[in-house]
Chains A and B, each alone.
Chain A
Amino acid sequence: MSTIEHQIVTVTVNGRTYERAVEPRKVLSDFLREDLELTGTHVACEHGFCGVCNILLDGQTVRSCLLFAVQVDGASIETVESLAAVLTNKNQQGAYRGFGAEVSNWILERLVDHAAHDLGMDRVEIRRKNLIQADAFSYRTPTGNIYDSGNYPGVLDKILADFDYDYWVKYGDDARKEGRHVGIGVVASQERSVFSSTEFWLWFDEPAFSPTSSPESASIQIEPTGQIVVTLHSHAMRGNSPETVVSQVIAEEFDVDPTSVVITYADSQHALPGTGPGGSRYTVMVSGAVAGAASQMKDKIKRIAANKLEAAEGDLEFRDGGVGVKGAPDKQLSLSDIAMMAYMFKLDLPPDMESGLATQWTYDHPLTTLPNADRSDLGMFYPFVGHAWHMAVVEVDPGTGGVEFLRYSAVHDVETVVNPKTLNGQIIGGTVQGLGTAMLEEYIYDDQGRVLNENFKHYHLPSSMDVPTMTIGHQETPSPYTAYGIKGAGEGGRMLTPAIMSAAVEDALSPYGVRITSLPISAEQIVAWAAGD
Chain B
Amino acid sequence: MPRMRLRVEKPATIIDINRVVGLDGISVDAGAVTVGALVRQQTLVTHDGVAAVHPLLREAGSYAGFHTTRHRGTVGGSIAFAAPWAELAATTTLLGATITVRSTKAQRTLAASDFFLGPNQTALAADELVTEVQFPPAPAGTGFGFHEASPRYRDYATAAAAASITIADGVCSSAAWVLLRAAPAPLSIDVASTLVGRVVDDAAIENVVQSLAGLDPPTDIEASGAHRRRLAVTLTRRALADAWANAQEAVA
Contacts and interface: CB of A to CB of B under 8 A. Distances in A.
A462 B152 contact: yes
Interface string B5-19: 110000000101010
Contact of B230 (A60, A71, A455, A531): A531
B5 A46 contact: yes
Contact of A60 (B18, B71, B231): B71
Given A48-B69, A60-B71, A458-B222, A466 B152 contact: yes
B210 interface: no
Interface string B153-176: 111101000000000000000000
B212 interface: no
A27 B231 contact: no
Given A61-B67, A400-B149, A463-B153, A453 B2 contact: no
B65 interface: yes
Interface residues of B, number: 35
A96 B226 CA distance: 35
Interface string A455-496: 101101011011000000000000000000000000000000
B20 to A, nearest CB: 13
Nearest to A24: B14
B158 A523 contact: yes
Interface string A505-529: 0000000000000000001100110
Contact of A66 (B5, B14, B16, B155): B5
Contacts of B149: 400-402, 523
Contacts of A46: 2, 5-6
Given A54-B68, A65-B5, A66-B72, A527 B152 contact: no
B1 interface: yes
A48 B152 CA distance: 15
A71 B151 contact: no
Interface string A57-78: 0001111011110110000000
Given A463-B152, A465-B152, A465-B153, A400 B71 contact: no
Nearest to B68: A61
A300 B6 CA distance: 62
B221 A66 contact: no
Interface string B35-57: 00000000000000000000000
Residue of B72, B226, B231 ringed by the most chain A CB atoms within 10 A = B72
B227 A528 contact: yes
Given A400-B235, A463-B152, 13 more contacts: A24-B14, A48-B65, A51-B66, A61-B71, A63-B69, A67-B1, A440-B152, A462-B152, A463-B153, A465-B152, A523-B151, A527-B230, A528-B230
Interface of B: 1-3, 5-6, 14, 16, 18, 65-69, 71-72, 149, 151-156, 158, 221-224, 226-227, 230-231, 234-235, 237-238
6 contacts: A47-B1, A48-B5, A54-B68, A63-B72, A463-B153, A465-B153
